Structure 1
């Protein structure tokens, strides 16, 4: 299943609908204004919070945290020993890890678990400016989590580029 995500998703105070491949609303992004760190909620079409995303404040490296129901679900940071700047590690709460690699700033990358493709993120499928697609490849994958991972990785890569 494919989703269309606006490129500047983490704007403070912004709300935005993520649409599925049929053009139907799938998730609402509720940007939280007046926060000290980048924060937003990913909600379903009924307004229930599925995922909370926030920047971790006291970390040696830029880190994003994904929570579900107030419990940590994943922590995302650039892979420590990678020569490539476009490689991120997603540490899930259950101890497993996802690998994110590709051209993050170009919005051309993949999310894998143990070498198996879970999602492909690309701008190529869409003609709408300032958007990219998230294609969830596996039926048993969590689309909300994979969208949140894509958003976090892009945000971290852009922050790193700004600091250079």
Structure 2
């Protein structure tokens, strides 16, 4: 399933709808301005908080934590750069995903490390609007979690660029 995400959603304090491929409002990304750390809430159409995405305040490397019901379900962090920039997603339960590609240009893929299965493809290639990109979530994956990982990767890539 393909979802459209607006870049402006990543400005602190901004709210933005994530739309499905039919243009329906599927999820609300709520940027929390009055928090100590960078924080977003991913809500369903009724306003229920599904996941919280927050920048870890104390960490050796910049890390975003994705929480569900108060517990961490994923940690997203930059992998050691050898040839190109990568982000690692450590999931609760030990599974790992790796994001590789052009993060600032929004052309990258997320793959499961254990078998190389594509989790999602993030692209702005087919869109005319500059401030929008798509997250194409592969079948069988937790859609809100994949969208939250894309939000975290984008936030970390922007922070890396600003350093």
Q: How far, CA to CA, are the matches of 1:101 and 1:12 in structure 2?
A: 25
Q: How far, CA to CA, are the matches of 2:162 and 2:45 in structure 1?
A: 34
Is 1:99 aligned to residue 98 of structure 2?
yes
Contact 2:51 2:68 in 1 (8 A): yes
Give the corresponding residue for 2:52: 52
Task: Return the offset for 1:85.
Answer: 4.2
- Structure 1, gaps ≥5 residues long: none
What is the count of residue pairs matched by the alignment?
161
Give the corresponding residue for 1:34: 34
TM-score by length of 2: 0.94
Give the corresponding residue for 1:71: 71
Give the corresponding residue for 1:133: 134
Q: How far, CA to CA, are the matches of 1:118 and 1:161 in structure 2?
A: 25
Q: Secondary structure at the match of 1:47?
A: coil
Q: How far, CA to CA, are the matches of 1:108 and 1:84 in structure 2?
A: 17
Q: How far, CA to CA, are the matches of 2:110 and 2:82 in structure 1?
A: 18
Q: Secondary structure at the match of 1:160?
A: helix
Q: How far, CA to CA, are the matches of 1:92 and 1:69 in structure 2?
A: 15
Give the corresponding residue for 1:88: 87
Q: How far, CA to CA, are the matches of 2:131 and 2:108 in structure 1?
A: 16
Give the corresponding residue for 2:123: 122
Matches within 5 A, 1:107-118: 107-113=106-112, 114=114, 115-118=116-119
Is 1:151 aligned to residue 139 of structure 2?
no
Q: Once the two structures are superposed, what CA deviation does each residue of 1:91-133 show, in whole Å capped at 9, x if it has no partner?
A: 0011110111011111000011131101000001211220110
